[in-house]
Amino acid sequence: MKIYDCPRCKHHSLIPTGGFLSCEQCSYAITAAALAVEQRLSNARSHDAQK
Ligand SMILES: [Zn+2]
């Protein structure tokens, strides 16, 4: 299973909790689906920056 770093505090890992991924450090929470979109957009932006 892939574990993501928290996009808010960028320090702690997000912990899967029944459909959500949450950070116990800063109380950030995101659905797995929304996080997948975030990751894809982030990857697309960094790809464009390399052109
Ligand atoms: Zn956090």
- For the chain, what percent of residues have pLDDT higher than 70? 90
pLDDT exceeds 70 at position 2: no
Give the C-alpha separation, 4 to 35, whole Å: 9
CA of 28 to the centre of ligand 1 (A): 6
The pTM (predicted TM-score) of the whole model is 0.60
Contact 23, 12 (CB under 8 A): yes
CA of 4 to the centre of ligand 1 (A): 11
Q: What is the pLDDT of residue 41?
A: 87
For residue 21, how many other CB atoms are within 10 A of its CB?
Answer: 20
CA of 5 to the centre of ligand 1 (A): 8
Residue showing tokens 């982030």? 42
> What is the per-residue pLDDT across 25-37, written as a single tens digit (0 to 9) for each?
999 999 988 888 8
CA of 51 to the centre of ligand 1 (A): 31
